Amino acid sequence: MSSILNRRRFLIGSGVAASAGLLAGCDILPGNDTVADILGLGEKLTMASQRFLLSDQALAREFTEADLSPVFKSNGTHKPDSDEYDALLANGFADWRLEVSGLVTQPLSLSLADLKAMPARTQITRHDCVEGWSAIGQWTGVPLGLVLKAAGLKTNARYVVFHCADEYEQTLDGSGQYYESIDLVDAFHPQTILAYGMNGKDLPVENGAPLRLRVERQLGYKQAKYLMRLEIVESFANFYRGKGGFWEDRGYEWYAGV
Amino acid sequence: MTPSATQPANEIPIRGRTLIRRHSLAVRITHWINVLCISVLIMSGLQIFNAHPELYWGQYGADADPSIISLGAERDGETVKGVTRIGDLSFTTTGVLGASIINGELRPRGFPTWATLPSYRDLAEGRRWHFFFAWLFVINGVVYLLYGFFAGHFRRDLAPRKSELSPGHIAHEVIEHARLRFPKGEAARNYNVLQKLAYLGVIFVLLPAMVMTGLTMSPGMDAALPWLVDLFGGRQSARTIHFISASLIVAFILVHLAMVLLSGVFNNLRSMITGRYAIDSEGKST
């Protein structure tokens, strides 16, 4: 085979190089931190305008039982992969406790029975996944606002951080642990509930048993499953990678109203 | 930039041609910002679509529910094949839709790498680009609409005259376009009726439909404007209409670019950059 670079080969080679360069060029900007910061202005504008347009109490649409999805898709973790969770599940979550700590005057440790004894809210709402699909489910639980009032917030409290039982990604530094956070506007919204029931039954394992968050005016990844601990904080900057949630740490918007 | 039958003082005929002022500065700037925004919105939109390359009708729709359009991948022996399905029709679209080459290997993927922003799979990045440029697109669009109404651009340049809307005239224009015979001389001063209708359709139907269906996909906006979701028959219907409208915009862009190329690419580009458009000053009409 001749090693002489003939014109045809040269043209093919440079064509491939040029298109590869073009494609790489298209991907240089998406990988750049400064560009990400500029584009992040979109999220700030979205949050500011939605908070302006949307009263703190405006409800997400509620549906009827006739609208329920035949199958409510289970996404993300289907069952936490830990001996601790297996033991809780084996015992019907009788030993499970929801810890409420941080900037509160009265730290709490609530059993499932404690939560079920509190006033409940049931709502049929649409769950919108960031991927684009939607499902309609019925949720029963205790309004988060009631739990926060029972714990008593300190004046510098700003966010609720939800610590979950599932490690969604195996990482050396533990940053693959699922967690989420919302601010107090969303935390005290009437439809923001800690749900232990779904479609008239106990919350199934694949949908987050024994307790999950519903924050209905935001996307699916905010609806943290397998809740273990609520931590009331002034800032979430020190948790894991500092963006306020498992998916936020991987580039998704913290304000997931769109 | 008012086109008129009498020749304005600043129009100088040179060798049988006259350079007229065709596009105002506001139209030129908003046009090119729009080119940038729509290019990024389409490519990042395809990235977002790839996260769940199926479309549904109604309030909900996920894996277990019947979709009306899907770009799927099926096992085909050792390899995969791309299958595009629209209702009951399905087509093998391996290499382009449903399955295409990623790092030298055929893999399941809705739209191919060359069509999406970024090329690699990254929903978060695609969304960041989509929403930033959606804001820019909306702000640019509002500036254009305000200019269009208040400076008389819509009334003067885009509103069809009554005589232009007669079926005979429209049929004549369609035939002339099909034969690639474009208006010359005085007739080239203004948009023809097909241009007017196409531009009005895009400006007042397709692009607003994109923005409105886009808003309905936001759970926050749904709580603020529940009537908007109802208007499109549910969140998943709105998502489907968002995608169909985007396809129609792509079709418009292809025809628009073809017309620019066929009717004089240099003259058209110059008019959209400098505002100056050359017409045949003899007023010959073929």
Identify whether A210 is preceded by a cis peptide bond (ω within 30 of 0).
Answer: yes
CB contact under 8 A, A133 and B222: no
The pLDDT score that the predictor gives to residue A244 is 97
| CA distances in angstroms from A144 to A154, A197, A199, listed in the order given | 16, 15, 20
In whole angstroms, give the CA distance from residue A120 to residue A17.
Answer: 63
Mind telling me how many Å the CA of A75 is from chain B's nearest CA?
A: 11
Please report the ipTM that was assigned to this predicted complex.
0.89
- The per-residue pLDDT for range B32-71, each reduced to its tens digit, is 999 999 999 999 999 999 999 999 999 999 999 999 999 9
In whole angstroms, give the CA distance from residue B244 to residue B206.
Answer: 10
B134 contacts in A (CB within 8 Å)?
42
Q: Label residue A11 by pLDDT band (50, 70, 90).
A: very low
In whole angstroms, give the CA distance from residue A60 to residue A58.
Answer: 7
Comparing alpha-carbon positions, the chain A residue that sits nearest to B243 is A132
Say if residues A139 and A207 touch (Cβ distance below 8 Å): no
Residue ranges of B 106-145 with Cβ closer than 8 A to chain A: 113-114, 117-120, 122-125, 127-129, 131-132, 134-135
Say if residues A119 and A150 touch (Cβ distance below 8 Å): no
In whole angstroms, give the CA distance from residue B154 to residue A251.
Answer: 42
- The per-residue pLDDT for range A42-66, each reduced to its tens digit, is 999 999 999 999 888 899 999 999 9
Is the pLDDT assigned to residue A3 strictly greater than 60? no
Comparing alpha-carbon positions, the chain B residue that sits nearest to A216 is B219
The separation between CA B199 and the C-alpha centre of its own chain, rounded to angstroms, equals 10
CB contact under 8 A, B128 and A251: yes
Burial of B213 (0-12, 13-18, 19+ CB in 10 A): buried
Give the list of residues 6+ apart from residue A101 with CB closer than 8 angstroms, or none: A107, A229, A230, A231, A232
Strand partners of residue A141: A121, A195
Q: Output the pTM of the full model.
A: 0.90
- Confirm or reject contact between B48 and chain A (CB < 8 A): yes
In whole angstroms, give the CA distance from residue A24 to residue A20.
Answer: 6
CB contact under 8 A, B236 and A134: yes
CB contact under 8 A, A216 and B117: no
CB contact under 8 A, A132 and B52: yes
Torsion from C-alpha of A170, A176, A177, A179, nearest 10 degrees: -160
Q: Encode chain B (286 residues) as per-residue pLDDT tens digits.
A: 444 445 565 676 777 888 999 999 999 999 999 999 999 999 999 999 999 999 999 999 999 999 999 999 999 888 999 999 999 999 999 999 999 999 889 999 999 999 999 999 999 999 999 999 999 999 999 999 999 999 999 999 999 999 999 999 999 999 999 998 888 888 888 899 999 999 999 999 999 999 999 999 999 999 999 999 999 999 999 999 999 999 999 999 999 999 999 989 999 999 999 999 998 875 444 4
CB contact under 8 A, A27 and B54: no
Mind telling me how many Å the CA of A146 is from chain B's nearest CA?
A: 22
